[in-house]
Chains A and B, each alone.
Chain A
Amino acid sequence: MKCRTCGQKAAVNMRQHKLALCKEHYLEWVPAQVERFIKKYRMFSREEKILVAVSGGKDSLSLWDILHRLGYVADGLYICLGIDEGIAYSSESQRLTEEFAAERGLKLQIVNIQQQTGMTIPELSTATMRGRGKSCSVCGLVKRHEMNRIARDFGYAVLATGHNLDDEAAVLFGNTLTWSGEYLLRQGPVLPATPGLARKVKPLCRLYEREMLAYALLRGIEYIYDECPFAVGATSIYYKELLNELENNRPGAKLSFYLSFLEARKKGLFAEPEAIQQELHPCPNCGQPTSAPGLCAFCKMTSKANTV
C-alpha cells in the first residue's frame, strides 16, 4: 500500500477515509485535521490561554503535542488520582507526563487529590460508598471539579480534553440506548462557558482512537499503555468494542454515527434547549456552580468522606 501524497510505503491506512499515508505525511495530516476542527467548531483562537487536561495517555499527550506544534498557548494539567495499587498507574502516568512537558519546555500544573482532599480516589470511593465499589464515578466527579477549579483560579479561557471519536461514539451509543435527551443535547465538540465554568472543547473529537494511537507511535510519544485498573470491564470499553465490530464491516460507521448525531442535534431533534435550562447556584464552600442550592456534589462527597 502506497502513501497517497508521495507514493512511498504507507505506514497508516484509514479505510474510513480511503486514505493511506507514509509516516512523514501522516504526521502532517493529523495536526492539519485538528486545526481544521478547531476552526470549524470555533473552539479557541491563538490569543486564548488553553489548559489541556493530560492523563499520561496517548490521546491527551498527543493533543498537547499537536496544540504546541500548531502554535497555541497551551499549558497542561495533570491530576494525580492516587491509583497505585498493583501497577503504579498514577505514579507512572505522572512520570511520563512530567517527562513529556520537560522535554518540550511546556508548563504543567499538577494537582494531587490526596493532598487536596486527604484521600486518594480509591479511598474516597470506599469512604463515600459512591459508585458501588468502582472508583469511576468518584474519579469523574473529582476530575471535573479540579479541572474547573484550576481553569478558573489561573484564568484559562478554555479547557481542552483528549476525547477522540471512539470516546464520543461510545458515549453517544450509551446515551442513545437509554435515550438520555439531556445528555445528548449537551454532547458535542464544544461546551460553551457558563458563569464560573470555562469553555470545554474536544479538538480530537473527529479523529479515530486508532488514528491517535498511530500518531503517538509515529511521533515517538511515550504514554501509559496499561489501562486504569478500574476501567477493566467498563461499559464504555464494551461499547467501543461493539462499535469496532461495526466499523470493521462498515468503514466510516463510527464517524457517520457521530456526525449525523451532531447534525440532528443542530436541527433540534432531542429537546427544546429552553426546556432543560437549569438555574445554577454557587457552592457556598468552593464557589463552583451547582444545580441545587447548597454544597456541590464534590464538596458534599469530600465532607462525607472526612466525617466517616
Chain B
Amino acid sequence: MVKIILRGKEYEVRPGMTLLSALKRIDILPESVIATRDGELIVEDEILREGETIKLVAVISGG
C-alpha cells in the first residue's frame, strides 16, 4: 500500500495509481496541496509505488 499524510492525518491507497487518482480517491482537492516524496516535489501524473510515503503540504495558510 501507499501511505499519504496530510497535517498528521494518514490515508492509504493502492500502489500503481497516479497521484491525481490517489488524491481523488481520498477526496483531497489537488489545488489545495503539494505532494512530496522523500522531500522532492512530485506532479499529478507520478505513479505511486508500493510501500512509499507521500507527504502532502497544505497550500492554504492563514494569519
Shortest B6–chain A CB gap in Å is: 12
Q: Please name all residues of chain B whose beta carbon is closer than 8 Å to the beta carbon of A228 when the two chains form the complex.
A: 62-63
Assuming the A-B contacts A217-B36, A244-B32, are A225 and B43 also in contact, with contact meaning beta carbons closer than 8 angstroms in the complex? Answer: no
Interface residues on B, range: 10 to 19
Assuming the A-B contacts A1-B45, A13-B44, A217-B34, are A244 and B29 also in contact, with contact meaning beta carbons closer than 8 angstroms in the complex? Answer: yes
Q: Please name all residues of chain A whose beta carbon is closer than 8 Å to the beta carbon of B32 when the two chains form the complex.
A: 241, 244
A166 near B60: Cβ-Cβ < 8 Å:
yes
Q: Does B38 contact A (CB under 8 A)?
A: no
Task: Tell me the complex Cα distance, A134–B29, Å.
Answer: 28
A217 near B29: Cβ-Cβ < 8 Å:
no
Shortest A292–chain B CB gap in Å is: 30
Q: Please name all residues of chain A whose beta carbon is closer than 8 Å to the beta carbon of B30 when the two chains form the complex.
A: 248
Task: Tell me the complex Cα distance, A10–B35, Å.
Answer: 13
Q: Does B17 contact A (CB under 8 A)?
A: no
Assuming the A-B contacts A213-B59, A217-B57, are A11 and B31 also in contact, with contact meaning beta carbons closer than 8 angstroms in the complex? Answer: no
Task: Tell me the complex Cα distance, A10–B43, Å.
Answer: 7
Shortest B11–chain A CB gap in Å is: 18
Q: Please name all residues of chain A whose beta carbon is closer than 8 Å to the beta carbon of B44 when the two chains form the complex.
A: 1, 13
Q: Please name all residues of chain A whose beta carbon is closer than 8 Å to the beta carbon of B34 when the two chains form the complex.
A: 210, 213-214, 217
Shortest A48–chain B CB gap in Å is: 28
With CB as the reference atom, state the residue of chain B lying closest to A240.
B60
Q: Does A153 contact B (CB under 8 A)?
A: no
Chain A 1-32 against B: per-residue CB contact (8 Å), 1 yes, 0 no?
10000000011110000001001000000000
Q: Please name all residues of chain B whose beta carbon is closer than 8 Å to the beta carbon of A214 when the two chains form the complex.
A: 34, 41
- Interface pick from A107-115, A171-179, A231-239: A231-239
Task: Tell me the complex Cα distance, A166–B57, Å.
Answer: 16
Task: Tell me the complex Cα distance, A234–B61, Å.
Answer: 11
Task: Tell me the complex Cα distance, A175–B41, Å.
Answer: 35
Shortest B53–chain A CB gap in Å is: 17
A11 near B59: Cβ-Cβ < 8 Å:
no
A209 near B60: Cβ-Cβ < 8 Å:
yes
Task: Tell me the complex Cα distance, A118–B43, Å.
Answer: 48
Q: Does A58 contact B (CB under 8 A)?
A: yes
B41 near A245: Cβ-Cβ < 8 Å:
no
Q: Does A288 contact B (CB under 8 A)?
A: no
Task: Tell me the complex Cα distance, A231–B30, Å.
Answer: 22
Seen from chain A, the residues whose Cβ lies within 8 Å of a Cβ on chain B are 1, 10-13, 20, 23, 55, 57-58, 89, 93, 166, 209-210, 213-214, 217-218, 224-225, 227-228, 231-232, 234, 236-237, 240-241, 244-245, 247-248
Report 11 cross-chain contacts, Cβ distance below 8 Å, ordered by A residue: A1-B44, A11-B40, A13-B43, A57-B63, A210-B31, A225-B58, A231-B63, A241-B60, A244-B59, A245-B29, A248-B30
Beyond A1-B45, A23-B41, A244-B59, list 19 extra A-B contacts (CB 8 Å). A1-B43, A1-B44, A12-B43, A13-B43, A57-B61, A57-B63, A89-B63, A166-B59, A214-B41, A227-B62, A228-B62, A228-B63, A232-B62, A237-B62, A244-B29, A244-B32, A247-B31, A248-B30, A248-B31
Seen from chain B, the residues whose Cβ lies within 8 Å of a Cβ on chain A are 29-32, 34, 36, 40-45, 57-63
In the A-B complex, the 10 residue pairs with the closest CB atoms: A231-B62, A228-B63, A244-B31, A11-B41, A13-B43, A227-B62, A210-B59, A1-B43, A248-B31, A1-B45
